[in-house]
């Protein structure tokens, strides 16, 4: 075994790899990029080296050499599937904890990968594509195999750049968009067109291969619960497969690994028709550890990171039969706001509370006081639960999510909790479109009135000294000669509409409703709020700006005071055509210039953050009057990037044309 290993990553995966290194008595070294000097993975490592970027191959390799590492573990993301990085590690005399560079390059090209495994009898999805193909040639392939089709970057991964196309009329635009994303993300705009499988399930097989010729599989993981091609819930084993299908898929995965001469831990991903699981098709191979690897670890009792390290050190796998016991389910916690279309979020972490329950594991990169920005992936942590059966595992995971707290950053915790309670999910009737179909039902849940009451009472209490006499004329409590007056708070919970809460001694009124009894008292880590005969305990934290965070059960709410004067002014400006960024991020495309005429719905600027693109479109026909967006520039949430002035004649003509068409019919 190596005496020192550099973890070339950050966040929860770096922390998780360090955990195994510590258990094995191996010195853990890591790197840190901009803004990460105080990150959790840096604090938990034995040594850390600053690098300009996690993607800087030369800097990361130099850091490993400087710190005395004998091997480099890439985690996932960043350089984990970069063949040039694996080759550079080897040239430096170090061991890359993963497959050879040539294998990464081969399997990273989806077109060559399909051809390679197909030659070994692994079934592949009908489709085609090759380097140098024109958009027209790709369109011909799509029409030949029939719609709907899926457009995929050949060099890509993680769902980035994938486009599902149902209508041939949209094909040209979707191919162009996929090329742009593929070029920007992977430096290669080669695309692949595949037949879309109706109600597909995403099932993958974990494999291990050593340098002595042994290849084994460790069963499957069901990864069908996805949003925008990104996995959010994974489990092992799959509720769909029977023993024969599991064995057939496992054997196909082993053949695929042998086809490319694989070494280390890898994953063979299959697409499986819901109605015919025996007809499975190879999609791609991930030549690294997967985000969802913990569910396999829990059901097989195999530490995959330890296996990676031992294989890289030259050890044999040792056994060829790995069985699964029980069931495990994982949920990914993201910095995103489900009630605002899952836009990326950020901020300073005020409170972190991880569940401590039997059968529950947490892989996290969070720490109190840490900053969550827009430069890195939005995944913050994973909560994984194990049980003797699927129902037990899901029940434990929901309980764990309800006890997980991240105050200071809006996350998808409540969404995950509700998704795991969906009837189809509980029944195991999954497909990759289920989450999108259920999104409206799982989002937009209003906060109970106690949230606004708790925020208003906390604000009032913080203005009153905890002990001692206060001058009633100086305190902003609503005190008046002759008796107490109402202290009014206008609050906004998340992206919702303002709520007026009036408070006076011992009672409150919400949105003009009747006055009811209410009180608040501090408890460890939170507030106890009594409201109209009901008492609830909220976890609570406040920012210096006055923004307050409250959590109860699986839900967390961001509550801010509304400046009514500025709100009225903003309401008047809302009709001027100002295009503001809905999230902190980077401008990737500017599709207009000052003076250009634009149609209603036409894209003017594209902003990207945390792997998500968001197009800012013209709210009406008009002329671009102002343009502050520059490609590559970082922008803040709500920053104005462009202003469109309405063209009255064009908008009247548009409205008239619509009416005329309706009348003609």
Contacts of 353 (CB under 8 A, 6+ apart): 403, 404, 405, 525, 539
* Burial tier of 210 (Cβ tally within 10 Å: 0-12, 13-18, 19+): buried
In this prediction, residue 565 carries a pLDDT of 59
Q: Does the pLDDT value for residue 644 go beyond 90?
A: yes
pLDDT average, residue stretch 225-239:
95
User: Residue 10: helix, strand or coil by DSSP?
Assistant: coil
Tell whether 296 and 215 lie within a shared domain: yes
Tell whether 412 and 483 lie within a shared domain: no
Tell whether 262 and 369 lie within a shared domain: yes
In this prediction, residue 611 carries a pLDDT of 65
In this prediction, residue 634 carries a pLDDT of 84
pLDDT, mean over the chain: 90
Tell whether 387 and 313 lie within a shared domain: yes
Asked whether residue 130 is assigned to any structural domain, the reply reads yes
Asked whether residue 255 is assigned to any structural domain, the reply reads yes
Asked whether residue 113 is assigned to any structural domain, the reply reads no
Q: In the listed set 536, 562, 588, which residue is the last one of a domain according to the structure?
A: 562
CATH of the domain at 391: 3.30.470.20
Report the percentage of the chain scoring pLDDT > 70.
Answer: 92
318 vs 434, more confident: 434
pLDDT average, residue stretch 471-497:
71
pLDDT, tens digit, 9 for 90 and up, residues 31-87: 999 999 999 999 999 999 999 999 999 999 999 999 999 999 999 999 999 999 999
Tell whether 529 and 462 lie within a shared domain: yes
Nearest to 81 by CA among 108, 117, 112: 108
Q: Does the pLDDT value for residue 421 go beyond 60?
A: yes
- Domain of residue 327 covers 202-225+243-442
Asked whether residue 92 is assigned to any structural domain, the reply reads yes
Tell whether 574 and 556 lie within a shared domain: no
Contacts of 184 (CB under 8 A, 6+ apart): 588
CATH of the domain at 187: 3.30.1490.20
Tell whether 376 and 315 lie within a shared domain: yes
And the tokens for 437? Answer: 């179909």
User: Residue 571: helix, strand or coil by DSSP?
Assistant: helix
Contacts of 412 (CB under 8 A, 6+ apart): 232, 333, 334, 336, 338, 342
Q: Does the pLDDT value for residue 543 go beyond 90?
A: yes
Q: Does the pLDDT value for residue 599 go beyond 90?
A: yes
In this prediction, residue 128 carries a pLDDT of 87
User: Residue 442: helix, strand or coil by DSSP?
Assistant: helix
Q: In the listed set 394, 422, 442, which residue is the last one of a domain according to the structure?
A: 442
Cα separation, 230 vs 656, whole angstroms: 42
CATH of the domain at 557: 3.30.700.30
Asked whether residue 306 is assigned to any structural domain, the reply reads yes
Q: Does the pLDDT value for residue 577 go beyond 90?
A: no
Tell whether 53 and 143 lie within a shared domain: no
Q: Does the pLDDT value for residue 89 go beyond 80?
A: yes
DSSP assignment string, 342-408? TEE--EE--EEE----TTEEEEE---TT-EE-SSS-SEEEEEEEEESSHHHHHHHHHHHHHH-EEES
Asked whether residue 119 is assigned to any structural domain, the reply reads no
Q: How many residues does the chain have?
A: 665
In this prediction, residue 652 carries a pLDDT of 65
Indicate the angle between helix axes 110-118 and 101-108, nearest 10 degrees: 100
Q: Does the pLDDT value for residue 473 go beyond 80?
A: no
Tell whether 283 and 358 lie within a shared domain: yes
Tell whether 308 and 420 lie within a shared domain: yes
Q: Which residues pair with 268 in a beta bridge?
A: 205, 285
CATH of the domain at 37: 3.40.50.20
Asked whether residue 116 is assigned to any structural domain, the reply reads no
And the tokens for 498? Answer: 């303002």
Q: Does the pLDDT value for residue 158 go beyond 70?
A: no
Structural domains in the chain (count):
5
CATH of the domain at 626: 2.40.50.100
Tell whether 433 and 354 lie within a shared domain: yes
pLDDT, tens digit, 9 for 90 and up, residues 612-625: 788 999 999 999 99
Under DSSP, the state recorded for 124 is: B
Asked whether residue 609 is assigned to any structural domain, the reply reads yes
Under DSSP, the state recorded for 197 is: P
Tell whether 508 and 570 lie within a shared domain: no
Q: In the listed set 405, 424, 442, which residue is the last one of a domain according to the structure?
A: 442
pLDDT, tens digit, 9 for 90 and up, residues 253-264: 999 999 999 999
């Amino acid at each position: 075994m190596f005496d020192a290993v550099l973890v070339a990553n950050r966040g929860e995966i770096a922390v998780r790899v360090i955990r195994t290194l510590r258990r094995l008595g191996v010195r853990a070294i890591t790197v840190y990029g901009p803004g990460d000097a105080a990150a959790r993975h840096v604090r938990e490592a034995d040594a850390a080296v600053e690098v300009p970027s996690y993607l800087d191959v030369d800097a990361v390799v130099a850091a490993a050499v400087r710190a005395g590492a004998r091997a480099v573990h890439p985690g996932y993301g960043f350089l984990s599937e970069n063949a040039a990085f694996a080759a550079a590690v080897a040239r430096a005399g170090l061991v890359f904890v993963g497959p050879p560079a040539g294998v990464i390059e081969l399997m990273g090209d989806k077109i060559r990968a399909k051809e390679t495994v197909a030659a070994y009898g692994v079934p592949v999805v009908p489709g085609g594509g090759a380097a140098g193909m024109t958009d027209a040639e790709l369109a011909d392939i799509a029409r030949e195999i029939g719609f709907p089709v899926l457009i995929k970057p050949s060099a890509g991964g993680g769902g980035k750049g994938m486009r599902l196309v149902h209508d041939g009329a949209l094909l040209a635009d979707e191919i162009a968009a996929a090329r742009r994303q593929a070029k920007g993300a992977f430096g290669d705009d080669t695309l692949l067109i595949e037949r879309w499988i109706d109600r597909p399930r995403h099932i993958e097989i974990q494999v291990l291969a050593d340098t002595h010729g042994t290849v084994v599989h460790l069963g499957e993981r069901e990864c069908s619960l996805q949003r925008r091609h990104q996995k959010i819930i994974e489990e092992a084993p799959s509720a769909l497969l029977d023993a024969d299908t599991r064995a057939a898929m496992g054997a196909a995965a082993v053949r695929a690994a042998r086809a490319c001469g694989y070494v280390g831990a890898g994953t063979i991903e299959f697409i499986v028709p819901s109605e015919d699981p025996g007809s499975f098709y190879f999609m791609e191979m991930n030549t690294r550890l997967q985000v969802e690897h913990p569910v396999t670890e829990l059901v097989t009792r195999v530490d995959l990171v330890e296996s990676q390290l031992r294989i890289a050190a030259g050890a044999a796998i040792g056994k060829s039969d790995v069985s699964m016991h029980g069931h495990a389910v994982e949920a990914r916690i993201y910095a995103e706001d489900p009630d605002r279309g899952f836009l990326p979020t950020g901020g300073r972490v005020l409170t972190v509370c991880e569940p401590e329950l039997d059968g529950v594991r947490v892989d996290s990169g969070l720490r109190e006081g840490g900053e969550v920005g827009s430069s890195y992936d939005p995944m913050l942590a994973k909560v994984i639960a194990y049980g003797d059966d699927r129902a037990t595992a899901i029940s434990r995971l929901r309980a764990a999510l309800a006890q997980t707290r991240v105050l200071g950053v809006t996350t998808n915790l409540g969404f995950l909790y509700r998704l795991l309670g969906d009837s189809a999910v509980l029944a195991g009737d999954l497909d990759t479109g289920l989450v999108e179909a259920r999104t409206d039902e799982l989002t937009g849940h209003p906060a109970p009135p106690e949230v606004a009451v708790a925020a208003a009472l906390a604000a009032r209490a913080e203005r009153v000294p905890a002990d001692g006499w206060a001058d009633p004329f100086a305190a902003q409590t609503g005190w008046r000669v002759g008796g107490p007056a109402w202290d009014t708070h206008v609050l906004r919970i998340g992206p919702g509409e303002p709520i007026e809460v009036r408070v006076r001694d011992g009672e409150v009124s919400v949105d003009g409703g009747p006055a009811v009894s209410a009180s608040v008292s501090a408890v460890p880590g939170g507030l106890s709020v009594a409201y109209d005969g009901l008492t609830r305990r909220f976890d609570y934290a406040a920012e210096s700006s006055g923004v307050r965070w409250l959590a109860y059960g699986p839900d967390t709410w961001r509550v801010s005071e509304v400046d009514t004067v500025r709100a009225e002014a903003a309401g008047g400006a809302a009709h001027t055509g100002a295009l503001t960024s809905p999230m902190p991020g980077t401008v990737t495309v500017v599709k207009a210039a000052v003076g250009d005429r634009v149609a209603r719905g036409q894209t003017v600027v594209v902003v990207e953050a945390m792997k998500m693109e968001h197009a800012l479109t013209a709210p009406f026909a008009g002329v671009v009057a102002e343009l502050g967006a520059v490609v590559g520039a970082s922008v803040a949430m709500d920053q104005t990037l462009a202003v469109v002035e309405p063209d009255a004649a064009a908008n009247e003509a548009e409205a008239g044309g619509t009416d005329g068409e309706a009348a003609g019919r």
